[in-house]
């Protein structure tokens, strides 16, 4: 009598495939995590630069000096004493924070007191440098 062979995979074949997939994930996952932090840092730096530009514009429009201050924890800021929070996911999850807890004064003329704010993550950092004369912020690594 001839024995019919059924289609399918053996248990050994399935275990080998699962082991290969596990090995591939172990190699790829640290790289994906580092990439997501870089994206979060970039988004936070862009947000911070936007907040600084808005503060400068408000000072010019209102024709008065405006104080921008980073909170001591580095997860928010205050404009003329009114607290605000950052919107970026890294800040809300408390993975990112801004150092130092600096104060930048935006003058009605468009100039600023200048400064450098650094956003730090677990592995990397980005800085936003505010020019004292032009009053504009630029992102540097």
**Which domains does the chain carry?**
11-140 (3.55.40.10)
* pLDDT digit string (tens) for the chain, length 141 residues: 566 667 778 889 999 999 999 998 888 777 666 567 788 888 888 888 998 999 999 999 999 999 998 888 777 888 888 998 888 766 766 667 777 778 889 999 989 988 888 888 887 888 888 888 887 788 887
Cα–chain center distance at 75: 11
Sheet holding 76-79, edge to edge: 82-85, 76-79, 66-70, 103-106
Please say whether the beta carbons of 41 and 90 come within 8 A.
yes
CA nearest neighbour of 20 among 8, 12, 31: 12
């Amino acid at each position: 009598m001839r024995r019919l062979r059924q289609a399918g995979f053996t248990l050994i074949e399935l275990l080998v495939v699962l082991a290969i997939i596990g090995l591939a994930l172990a190699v790829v996952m640290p790289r994906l995590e580092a990439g997501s932090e870089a994206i979060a840092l970039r988004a936070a730096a862009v947000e911070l630069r936007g907040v600084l530009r808005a503060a400068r514009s408000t000072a010019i429009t209102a024709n008065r000096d405006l104080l921008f201050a980073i909170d001591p924890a580095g997860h928010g800021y205050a404009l003329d004493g009114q607290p605000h929070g950052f919107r970026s996911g890294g800040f809300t999850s408390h993975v990112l924070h801004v150092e130092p807890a600096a104060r930048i004064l935006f003058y009605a003329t468009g100039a600023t007191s200048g400064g450098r704010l650094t956003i730090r993550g677990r592995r990397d950092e980005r800085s936003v440098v505010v020019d004292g004369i032009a009053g504009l912020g630029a992102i540097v690594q």
